[in-house]
């Protein structure tokens, strides 16, 4: 199967989004990132990246400061919530 090669010029904001998608390993390369953007749209992609950035910040904070102390009755609370 022969594919056509098309050069696409994107704005700086979209370029940053593409780099973040590769950094967070949502996609493997720039071509996959553009395909992902075309399939899902810019708004959905930004929402996914925001979620990834928030979780990355939390993990970085936990690595730096250690895990937060959880209340001792947390397991009892989760059991009652499930019932």
pLDDT score at 76: 65
pLDDT digits (tens, 9 = 90+) for 6-18: 888 999 999 999 9
Q: Provide the token pair at 16.
A: 């940053």
Are 34 and 18 contacting, i.e. CB atoms less than 8 angstroms apart? Answer: yes
**Within 10 A of 10 (CB to CB), how many other CB atoms are there?**
14
| CA-wise closest residue to 33 among 56, 50, 10 | 10
Segment 41-64 shows an average pLDDT of: 91
């Amino acid at each position: 199967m022969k594919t056509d090669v098309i050069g696409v010029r994107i704005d700086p904001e979209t370029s940053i989004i593409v780099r973040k998608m590769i950094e967070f390993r949502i996609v493997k390369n720039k071509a996959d990132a553009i395909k992902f953007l075309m399939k899902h749209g810019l708004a959905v992609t930004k929402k996914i990246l925001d979620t990834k950035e928030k979780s990355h910040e939390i993990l970085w904070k936990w690595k730096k400061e250690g895990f937060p102390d959880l209340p001792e009755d947390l397991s009892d609370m989760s059991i009652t919530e499930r019932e």
